[in-house]
Amino acid sequence: MPSPIIVAPTGQHKLATPEGEVATARAAAACNTIMVLSFSSSCRIEEVASSCDAIRFYQLYVYKRRDVSATLVRRAESLGFKAIVLTVDTPVLGRREADIRNKYAGSPRRMIAPRLANLEGLMSFDDDIDAEGGSKLEHFASQTLDPSLSWKDVEWLKSITTLPILLKGIVTAEDARKAVEAGAAGVIVSNHGARQLDYAPPTISVLEEVVKAVGGAVPVLVDGGVRRGSDVLKALALGARAVMVGRPVFYGLAARGEAGARHVIEMLNKELELAMALCGCPSVGDITRAHVQTQGDRIRALL
């Protein structure tokens, strides 16, 4: 890839543009970068795969019905997806108060938002959007996600696919080491956009801890809070191999569809190049730990 900026998995792109994830895939392909397709895509896996020639990963959750997860993995693998991104920080859905206030309905059939296209025909649901209780996304998650998610599920997933598996949602050294022991091909430092748990640490603050724990055994990626090219430089300096960008791409889609998403990715790339030039880094490989100072560094300097 020409740059270490990857499109993170975010759901329901038809909320932003009528073409949905197809527009995002084409934007990523035009920028020669990877797109991670969300399980909650509003376009089918097959639609996205046939839309353009690009490198794609597939984001997966472990469901109570393992056959549903297995079916999604097989579909992605047969369509040329290159890796599975298993989200491990959502055994249950966090309390998303905005969704509750807005009575957000996010389930595969009758709903206010676009459908979860890839789950149609795989599950049956209690889908009464007029039921009491606020967010129907929370109701959907409680019906489908497996709260018993454990490290054994990584072993199970490895048994049903030849694709490399990256674990998304790691924020501690302990879990990073366990991920490597479980056979993960990569670790993604993520706090789920800070929507799962109040006061979860910002990913940039735990990135270096995870990188040190992994010790180079597998690549470490990071998402969350990347809004400028200089943010990308900071993450690389702290040991990330690449960053994943979610909300900014979604904003670009909302503004100008495919062209807007492409503009966001190109803008971040240009900002990264500028930050590198001003730091005296001719290439990504020249970015080192010496290019950033953390709060811990400043405290140690004062002692």
Q: Which residues are catalytic?
A: 192
Tell me the three state secondary structure of residue 167: strand
Q: Is the dihedral of CA 153, 35, 81, 41 positive or negative?
A: positive
Within 10 angstroms of residue 135's Cβ, the number of other Cβ atoms is 21
Within 10 angstroms of residue 86's Cβ, the number of other Cβ atoms is 24
In which element (H, E) is residue 261 found? helix 247-278
Q: How many Cα atoms occupy the beta-carbon half-sphere of 85 within 13 Å? A: 28
Compute the distance between CA of residue 33 and CA of residue 251 in angstroms, rounded to an integer.
18
Q: How many Cα atoms occupy the beta-carbon half-sphere of 206 within 13 Å? A: 21
Q: Using H for helix, E for strand and C for coil, what is the string for 48-109?
A: HHHHCCCCEEEEECCECCHHHHHHHHHHHHHCCCCEEEEECCCCCCCCCHHHHHHCCCCCCC
Q: How many Cα atoms occupy the beta-carbon half-sphere of 124 within 13 Å? A: 0
